[in-house]
Amino acid sequence: MTDWSTRLKTVKIERIHTWAFYLLCGFGLFSNISIAIANIFLGSLTALLLIRLWMKHDDWQDALPDGRLCAALFILMGAVVLSSFFSSDISYSLRTFGDYYGYRMIGLYAILLMVREKQRLTRIAVCIAASFAINDMAVIYQGVFQNNFRAAGFSIYMSVGGFLSMLLPALLLLLLSGRLDRRWRVPTIAVFLLGGAALLFNGTRGAWLAIPLTMMIGAAFLVRQKKNVLIGSLAALIVVSGILMLSPTLSSRFASIGDTHNQSNSERFLLWRSAYHMFEDHPLVGVGFAQFRNAYQGQYILPEAKERELGHAHSNVMQMLAECGIIGLLALVFFWYAYLSYGFRTWIAAHHVAALLIPAILLGLILQGLTEYNMGNSAVMKLHWTLMGLCLQWLRIDVDGRRLS
């Protein structure tokens, strides 16, 4: 009787895993083009994950492949919760914590616990790439035929900048690695070129800076002849320079990056000053997680600020410093260090491209997030955690050698 009940339970869990795979594919297909539909799949996946944990909960401790990754995540969560208890609205801060570190991370949790075959990982990745390509084509259409140089396709232009910052470096590394099956090479090149064109028409300056730098760092690990990285970078620079010269609008947008008199730039400087004043008044735990808007508009907005309805600091670092103080910022930096070092360390040991994709995806987020609060962008972070889950699980299946029972 015990054997039969055990077998029946195993069958039920496998069915749950299959449904989780389908829901992840659905989320991937709409991740770049409709956050509303993507949320339907993600909400269903959340319910399925809870059922799965109720039926089998003895393996969640080993979900992350390295104990330091788990420790870094818990330390970051702990710092955010600590800040929440010093918030002027504790209930709202804790609810937002549940959204940021629970719901938005469902893709990571679900993949690590319920996707055990590489073929399924590949299909989820293909769904994400298809969504990325469809939205990129919409961005290009808006740029070419509607003369829109802040094109967003079916999404929001800052979300598109976040998608591009993570996916373009990842696609380049996959192409350079030589690990792609021949049937996937041409489609991957096509998606990469679509993304490059969409990057120009999207006009997100932080992404313009973050993506080339992330690509060069990743390529430096993959390409044995380092001079080839330099040659490739120079060739890309020449092509981009030619495009900018042909388009006065793009050229003007690019030139504004270093213009301190540009209103977008000057408003960021004012926001960062306000964020630093919050840190000065609340150095240890900040004004409280998810309380930047209230603090800024209630007390810390500067008289010279023109855009007075802004609700975040336009920088991950300054946002964390203002809301969670030095404790929160140190926890965030340690979290970044843990995941970056794990990826680079595993690459050196195993030379598997999935290890290098982890820091590439994270670096894209970090570098673009120096001038944008992309950690507060729901669509970007849901995709980010799903991509991290795919990389970590691919690495575990191919390299870790542990039996996934």
Helices (H), 256-352: 263-281, 292-295, 316-350
Give the confidence band of 34 by pLDDT, cuts at 50, 70, 90: very high
Give the confidence band of 256 by pLDDT, cuts at 50, 70, 90: confident
The type of residue at 64 is L
The type of residue at 165 is S
- Across residues 304-308, what is the average pLDDT? 82
Name which of 302, 359, 319, 351 is nearest 335 in CA terms: 359
Structure-block tokens of residue 368: 């673009």
Structure-block tokens of residue 31: 């991740």
Write the pLDDT tens digit of every residue in 53-81.
Answer: 888 876 776 777 788 999 999 999 999 99
Give the confidence band of 234 by pLDDT, cuts at 50, 70, 90: low
User: Residue 402 above 50 pLDDT?
Assistant: no
Name which of 107, 108, 135, 129 is nearest 34 in CA terms: 135
CB 19 within 8 A of CB 55: no
pTM for the structure as a whole: 0.92
CA distance 238 to 250: 15
Give the confidence band of 179 by pLDDT, cuts at 50, 70, 90: confident
User: Residue 208 above 80 pLDDT?
Assistant: yes
Give the confidence band of 223 by pLDDT, cuts at 50, 70, 90: confident
Longest distance between any two alpha carbons in the chain, whole Å: 76
Give the confidence band of 390 by pLDDT, cuts at 50, 70, 90: very high
Write the pLDDT tens digit of every residue in 330-343.
Answer: 999 999 999 999 99
CB 42 within 8 A of CB 107: yes
Sheet strands (E) in 58-161: none
Phi/psi zone of residue 148: left (φ > 0), alpha (ψ -120 to 50 degrees), beta?
A: beta
Structure-block tokens of residue 265: 């730039």
Tracing tokens 């995806």 back to the chain, one arrives at 361
What DSSP character marks residue 397? I
- Across residues 249-262, what is the average pLDDT? 69
